[in-house]
């Protein structure tokens, strides 16, 4: 399984043609206390870069973009009652949605963990 990151701080884990999407540890730290997450409906078609989910902290609302194109398989229903999972465990339990990838070649332009760590070190 491989993990990729976007410059907008989404991560995607890829296993076969299934991707699991969330926001990075850095992103949750920037957002602060997360009080609401809106994940996409099952079956929704997303193109890379589409607004896929909304995450709201005490202070502000933010869009989460689809890091790759595909069809939403499921949203993380646990986030409806426990949005704080995104703060506690953003890169595992706090995942946002799973997607069936339509074009895995889109991943090639994304950063791996080492490149992303270097990217946020400069922010």
Partner 1 sequence: MSDFDNGGAEEGPEIENELLALDAWHRAKGGRMVSFAGYEMPVQYEGIMAEHLWVRDHAGLFDVSHMGQLFLSGDGLDAALEALIPADVVSVKPNAQKYSLLLADNGGILDDLMFTRWDDGIYMVVNGAVKYDDISHLLDHLPDDVTINHMADAALLALQGPEAVTVLSRLVPGVEDLVFMTGGRFVWNDVPLWISRSGYTGEDGFEISLDGEQVAAFADALAAEPEVKPIGLGARDSLRLEADLPLYGHDLDTDTTPIMAALNFAVGSKRRRAEANFPGAERILAERDQGPAVKRVGLVIDGRQPVREGAAVVDASGAEIGKVTSGGFAPSLNAPIAMAYVPLALAEIGTVIQLSQRGKVHTGTVTAMPFIPHRYVRAGGK
Task: Report in angstroms how near the CB of residue 54 gets to partner 1 at its nearest.
Answer: 8
Taking CB under 8 A as the binding criterion, the range among 28-36, 42-50, 105-113, 114-122 that sits at the site for partner 1 is: 28-36
Separation of alpha carbons 103 and 91, rounded Å: 23
For residue 40, count other CB atoms closer than 10 A to its CB.
23
Please state, in angstroms and rounded to a whole number, the distance separating the CA atoms of residues 93 and 115.
23
Residue 35 binding partner 1, by CB under 8 A: yes
Of 42, 75, 73, the residue nearest 64 (C-alpha): 75
In the bound complex, what is the minimum distance in angstroms from residue 59's beta carbon to partner 1? 4
Among the residue ranges 6-14, 41-49, 68-76, 113-121, the one whose residues contact partner 1 (CB under 8 A)? 6-14
Q: Which of 46, 55, 68, 110 binds partner 1 (CB under 8 A)?
A: 55
Site string for partner 1, 59-98 (x = CB under 8 A): xxxxxxx--------------x--x---------------
> DSSP H helical segments within the chain, as ranges?
25-31, 78-81, 85-88, 113-121
């Amino acid at each position: 399984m491989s993990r990729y990151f976007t410059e907008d701080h989404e991560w995607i884990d890829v296993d076969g043609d299934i991707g699991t999407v969330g926001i990075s540890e850095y992103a949750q730290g920037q957002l602060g206390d997360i009080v609401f997450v809106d994940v996409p409906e099952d079956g929704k078609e997303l193109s890379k870069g589409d607004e896929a989910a909304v995450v709201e902290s005490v202070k502000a609302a933010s869009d989460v973009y689809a890091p790759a194109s595909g069809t939403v398989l499921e949203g993380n229903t646990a986030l409806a009652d426990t949005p704080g999972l995104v703060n506690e465990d953003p890169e595992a339990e706090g995942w946002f949605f799973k997607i069936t990838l339509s074009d895995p070649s889109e991943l090639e332009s994304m950063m791996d963990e080492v490149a992303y760590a270097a990217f946020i070190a400069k922010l």
